[in-house]
Chains A and B, each alone.
Chain A
Amino acid sequence: AQSVTQLDSQVPVFEEAPVELRCNYSSSVSVYLFWYVQYPNQGLQLLLKYLSGSTLVKGINGFEAEFNKSQTSFHLRKPSVHISDTAEYFCAVSPNQAGTALIFGKGTTLSVSS
């Protein structure tokens, strides 16, 4: 079985500062990894995904994440955040086989202030 741990439940940061949201996973098989974002009163939106290949993955809105197999981590980073990045961020994992459900972490609330 797979599991996901998001190490920080809340991350407050000032506008234009860098941010890292941490995600660790557990799995006995190879995995696909995802970050989703949920803005207030909206559905989940795919931010980026790691399926295979390059371990540095770039997503929308200037976010990127790095897959580290030895540390079983998939941390999300952005060099300079905006007020509009305030949202809930979810890391998710699934076994690398078609059709299996995604398992989500509990989420990290990113609060960007001026």
Chain B
Amino acid sequence: DTGVSQDPRHKITKRGQNVTFRCDPISEHNRLYWYRQTLGQGPEFLTYFQNEAQLEKSRLLSDRFSAERPKGSFSTLEIQRTEQGDSAMYLCASSRSSGANVLTFGAGSRLTVL
């Protein structure tokens, strides 16, 4: 069990550019979640996958955001035409498919949009 891995850990980009983050969950975990955390706030739910199916999306996930989990293993979160308001820590978490949602989080990917 190597935990939840996120890449890159830090990304600095210019406004208008596209960025992509990758998350590798714990191997036996079927569920994968994306959260966003801004300074002084708690994590805010963005979207959730059960295997390859995207089952829930928050209203925070605008049209510029897209998430995929094509083979039910790793996931990507892409932000198109980044805005300064997108600057945040993007957190990935995973959990087992049965029982209560005990989430294991990765260290996060910090995005800075200049």
Contact = CB atoms under 8 A, between A and B. Distances in A.
Interface of A: 4, 6, 32, 34, 36, 42-46, 49, 51, 90, 92, 94, 96, 98-107
Interface in B75-105: 91, 93, 97-105
Q: Which 5 A-B pairs have the closest CB atoms?
A: A104-B42, A43-B107, A44-B105, A101-B45, A43-B105
Interface residues of B, number: 28
Contacts of B33: 101-102
B91 A43 contact: yes
B101 A101 contact: yes
Interface string B41-78: 11111001010000110000000000000000000000
B48 A101 contact: yes
A98 B99 contact: yes
